Amino acid sequence: METKKQILDVRNLMCPYPSFLTVKKLNEVEKGTILEVICDKVEMTINSLTTTLKNRGYKFEVKEDKDNYIVEVYKD
């Protein structure tokens, strides 16, 4: 099955709004989708987001580039 990819940009948003939008988006996308969440390099935001994802049993991977964290979440 083809993996679909969707992007959610939560940069410049204050905690816990990024977590709220990510959870909402994950509820909407189809199973098998990879959701790529682009997030500021702010420790509080990434900690809060990954804690929420862990609590809900999502598989995810955190990558980073110069300016952002990119969280790839798998919806299965």
Partner 1 sequence: MRCTKIRTEQFEFNIKKIDNWILNIDKIKSGKFIRDELKVGNTPIVRLENIDTNNLELYAKIEWLNPFGSIKDRAAYWMIKIAEDKGILNKNKTVIEPTSGNMGIALACISMSLGYKFTAVVPQAVSEETKNLIRLLGAELLETSDDLCPRVGKGTDQCIALAKGIVNSFPNDYFMPNQYENEANFLAHYNGTGPEIFNQMNGNIDYFITGIGTGGTVTGVGAYLKERKDVKIIAAQPQPNHHIQGLRNLQESDKPAILSKRFHVIDDILTISDEEAFRAVRLIAEKEKLLVGPSSGAVLAAALKLEEKGLKGKAVLIFADDALKYSSVYRQFKVLDEETLRSLEELISLQKVN
Catalog residues that contact partner 1 under the rule CB under 8 A: 12-17, 19-20, 23, 47-48, 51-52, 55-56
Q: How far is the CB of 64 from partner 1 (least distance, A)?
A: 21
| Residue 19 vs 33, nearer CB to partner 1 | 19
Residue labelled with tokens 């990819």:
5
Task: Provide the 3-class DSSP secondary structure of residue 76.
Answer: coil
The minimum distance between CB 19 and partner 1, in angstroms, equals 6
Least Å distance, CB 23 to partner 1, is: 7
Q: Concatenated DSSP letters for 6-75?
A: EEEE-TT--TTHHHHHHHHHHHHSPTTEEEEEEEES-HHHHHHHHHHHHHTT-EEEEEE-SSEEEEEEE-
Nearer of residues 16 and 62 to partner 1, judged by Cβ? 16
CB-nearer residue toward partner 1: 13 or 70: 13
